[in-house]
Amino acid sequence: MTFTVQWTAATGVVSIARTTALGAYREAERVTQMGMRNVRIRLPGGDLIRLEDFQYPFEQMQIAPDRG
């Protein structure tokens, strides 16, 4: 399974593949913090979604109470 993070840079559209959803999320956050624009993630099924739509499940995991 491959997730592709892509964004707009001065040289055009750049993309990088990650093998996990978490890896793609972290990469997308990293390039966003670097000031890149139009950060999107292509899901394994081919859908292209915005980082904001992709990050919601990860935010919910971080604020969920510990059930240990």
How does pLDDT run across 19-65, given as a tens digit for each residue?
998 899 899 999 999 988 899 999 999 999 988 887 766 665 555 45
DSSP strands (E only) in 10-62: 12-18, 37-42, 48-50
Structural domain harbouring 52: 3-63
Q: With bands split at pLDDT 50, 70 and 90, how would you rate the model's confidence at 18?
A: very high
For the chain, the domain total comes to: 1
Q: Is residue 68 part of a domain?
A: no
Q: Is residue 50 part of a domain?
A: yes
Q: Is residue 13 part of a domain?
A: yes
Q: Is residue 10 part of a domain?
A: yes
Q: Give which of 65, 62, 68 is closest to 29, Cα–Cα.
A: 62
Q: Is residue 41 part of a domain?
A: yes
